[in-house]
């Protein structure tokens, strides 16, 4: 079966579309979509028919319609921002777009109209701290988290109202790691309330339990919830932190993205410096991770992603302009190298359709 993959080629201000064969992982260039600024984060609408792109150099979010046959993109609207966004995601209803701003140190929420375009002024802006790197709602669409690398070294914890699109800070505050790990990105287990965070500055990965709580819990007249920190919904509880590096590596390194396979069996983290993808298996009972090795990859692997079958991982080399493709061994989780493709200057996102 043939599907598609989209790549943000930031150095050339274009989104590259490739056809992708799920039988062998091979890709073939289809076409370029030129954009007004350097494309970074990409995300799909929940229905899969629209694509949103953060254009960092021009401080815009572009809304595209996806042709369901050819997967070509038609620009519907660009929405001007007052800062460049490093991550965007819709909520689970597709009615709101959440954005994190690394330099500006904030998060915003924009409404998405019935025509699926991102509207002009945000309905909410919350100043957090420098180095806000990621935001997304959980599967229940009740909570959102914003990791901040060093300095701030914190995970901001929010409640999300799917009716209004508004974020509210968790009554019990932020999560502050004991060590300067610098949480950057995270992924959620597909079947359990467990989150995995890549730590940029600590070159590590952390596992957290999400405390679900009862959404119907009453609030006292003073506005203070009638629960303690031990049963409050939307709090992350630390389980473990593991290095993403071999024991004998002592050179400079920072972690970037983290992804989990759709089956919830393996977690992968990219190392910039060691230039590898760190591989971990997931314990079926506890959800904790066990290292299973490192796959060398392209220089500065800032971005990568896993396809919807869980059989392939594609990693972009920011330092080489190449895309490395791998087959995931479904028994062991180990990456098996396939091909390398010249894709262009500064690949900044990989998105499977």
CATH number reported for the structural domain that contains residue 86 in this entry: 2.120.10.30
What does the block give as tokens for 121? 């002024």
- What does the radius of gyration of the chain's CA atoms come to, in whole angstroms? 19
**Residue 247: Cβ within 10 Å count:** 6
Burial class (CB in 10 A: 0-12, 13-18, 19+), 136: buried
* pTM > 0.75: yes or no: yes
Residue 352, Cα to own-chain centre: how many angstroms?
A: 13
Is position 147 within any domain? yes
Calpha distance 294→282 (Å, rounded): 16
pLDDT at 212: 86
| pLDDT < 70 regions, the chain | 214-227
Alpha-carbon span 112 to 104, nearest angstrom: 23
Give the range of the structural domain holding residue 118, as residue numbers without chain letter: 49-66+77-159
Whether 278 is covered by a domain: the verdict is no
Domain total of the chain: 1
* 122 domain-assigned: yes
List beta partners, residue 195.
188, 208
Q: Is residue 197 part of a domain?
A: no
Separation between Cα atoms, residue 341 and residue 350, nearest integer Å: 13
Quick one: pLDDT at residue 215? 54
Does 346 reside within a domain? Answer: no
What local confidence, expressed as pLDDT, does residue 223 receive?
Answer: 53
Q: What is the pLDDT of residue 220?
A: 42
pLDDT at position 2: 82
Residue 349 in 3-state DSSP? strand
Residue 4, domain member (yes or no): no
**Structure tokens that stand for 116 in this block:** 């699926």
Residue 196 belongs to a domain:
no
127 inside domain: yes
pLDDT (0 to 100) of residue 218: 43
* CA dist 44 → 53, 70, 116, 209 (Å): 9, 16, 11, 26
């Amino acid at each position: 079966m043939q599907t598609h993959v989209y790549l943000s080629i930031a150095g050339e201000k274009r989104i590259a579309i490739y056809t992708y064969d799920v039988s062998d992982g091979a890709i073939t260039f289809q076409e370029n979509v030129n954009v007004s600024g350097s494309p970074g984060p990409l995300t799909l609408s929940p229905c899969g028919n629209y694509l949103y792109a953060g254009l960092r150099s021009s401080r815009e979010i572009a809304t595209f319609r996806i042709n369901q046959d050819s997967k070509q993109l038609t620009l519907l609207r660009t929405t001007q921002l007052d800062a460049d966004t490093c991550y965007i995601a819709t909520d689970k209803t597709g009615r709101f777009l959440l954005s994190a701003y690394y330099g500006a140190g904030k998060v915003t929420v924009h409404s998405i109209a019935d025509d699926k375009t991102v509207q002009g002024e945000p309905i909410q802006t919350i100043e957090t701290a420098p180095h806000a790197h990621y935001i997304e709602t959980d599967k229940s669409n009740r909570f959102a988290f914003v990791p901040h690398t060093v300095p701030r070294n914190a995970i901001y914890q929010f409640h999300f109202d799917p009716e209004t699109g508004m974020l509210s800070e968790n009554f019990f505050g932020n999560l502050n790691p004991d060590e300067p790990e610098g949480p950057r990105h995270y992924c959620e287990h597909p079947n359990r309330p467990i989150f995995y965070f890549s730590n940029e500055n600590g070159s590590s990965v952390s596992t957290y339990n999400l405390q679900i709580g009862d959404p119907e819990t009453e609030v006292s007249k003073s506005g203070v919830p009638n629960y303690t920190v031990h049963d409050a919904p939307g709090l992350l509880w630390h389980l473990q932190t593991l290095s993403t590096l071999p024991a004998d590596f002592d050179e400079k390194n920072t972690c970037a993205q983290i992804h989990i396979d759709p089956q919830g069996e393996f977690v992968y983290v990219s190392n910039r410096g060691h230039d590898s993808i760190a591989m971990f298996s997931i314990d079926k009972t506890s959800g904790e991770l066990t290292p299973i090795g490192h796959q060398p990859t392209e220089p500065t692997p800032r971005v990568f992603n896993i396809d919807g079958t869980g059989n392939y991982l594609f990693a972009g080399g920011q330092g080489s302009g190449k895309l490395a493709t791998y087959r995931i061994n479904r028994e062991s989780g180990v990456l098996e190298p396939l091909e390398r493709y010249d894709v262009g200057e500064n690949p900044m996102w990989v998105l499977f359709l």
